[in-house]
């Protein structure tokens, strides 16, 4: 049986121009270490927000951050938006996530900043350095809204 964790985020910030569709983004995380810590998930709306999150700064305009308790399965779904007052706007987003195995709310890093906890990025972007927004960018369209993020 799949462990389904639903996180409802009330989006009260406004960014960009466009209509509100009340969309949701379903993110299926795979390679999750069962029953260990939290999934720390950031949904960003552009290059500037992406660079801020990749630089270790959380929150701010254009960023939705979630902390979701990990269940007992290797696959875990997180829903962003949908039931919120505003939902998500149609547009381009990127997802950055890591599994905070020890629960300290910090990404454990080793020599040269190499992550020591499982990390995943939208579009399964794998690079030798920090991934770029352009590579991890996904497009949320009305009626569509599911992606998979592999933790490595």
Q: For 5-17, how does the pLDDT look when each residue is reduced to its tens digit (9 = 90+)?
A: 222 222 222 233 2
Mean pLDDT of the 112-135 span: 91
Asked if residue 81 lies in contact with residue 13, where contact means CB atoms within 8 angstroms, the answer is: no
The alpha carbon of 147 is separated from its chain's Cα centroid by a whole number of angstroms, namely: 10
For the chain, the residue count is 152
Task: Please state whether the predicted TM-score (pTM) of the whole model is above 0.85.
Answer: no
Q: How far from 106 is each of 51, 73, 121, CA to CA, in Å?
A: 17, 22, 17
Task: Extract the tokens encoding 85.
Answer: 């007052």
Q: What are phi and psi of 51, to 5 degrees?
A: -65, -40
What is the rounded distance in angstroms from the CA atom of residue 15 to the CA atom of residue 33? 34
Q: Is residue 90 within a helix (H) or strand (E), and if so which, with residue range?
A: none
Question: Hey, is 103 helix, strand or coil?
Answer: coil
99, β-bridge pairs: 39
What is the pLDDT confidence band of residue 112, given thresholds at 50, 70 and 90? Answer: confident
């Amino acid at each position: 049986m799949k462990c389904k964790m639903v996180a409802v985020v009330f989006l009260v910030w406004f960014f960009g121009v466009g209509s509100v569709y009340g969309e949701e983004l379903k993110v299926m995380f795979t390679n999750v270490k069962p029953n260990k810590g939290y999934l720390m998930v950031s949904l960003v709306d552009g290059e500037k927000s992406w660079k801020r999150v990749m630089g270790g700064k959380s929150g701010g305009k254009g960023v939705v951050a979630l902390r979701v308790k990990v269940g007992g399965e290797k696959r875990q779904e997180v829903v962003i938006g949908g039931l919120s007052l505003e939902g998500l706007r149609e547009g381009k987003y990127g997802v950055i996530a890591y599994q905070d195995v020890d629960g300290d709310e910090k990404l454990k890093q080793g020599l040269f900043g190499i992550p020591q906890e499982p990390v995943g990025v939208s579009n399964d972007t794998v690079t030798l350095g920090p991934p770029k927004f352009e590579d991890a960018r996904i497009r949320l369209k009305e009626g569509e809204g599911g992606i998979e993020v592999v933790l490595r």
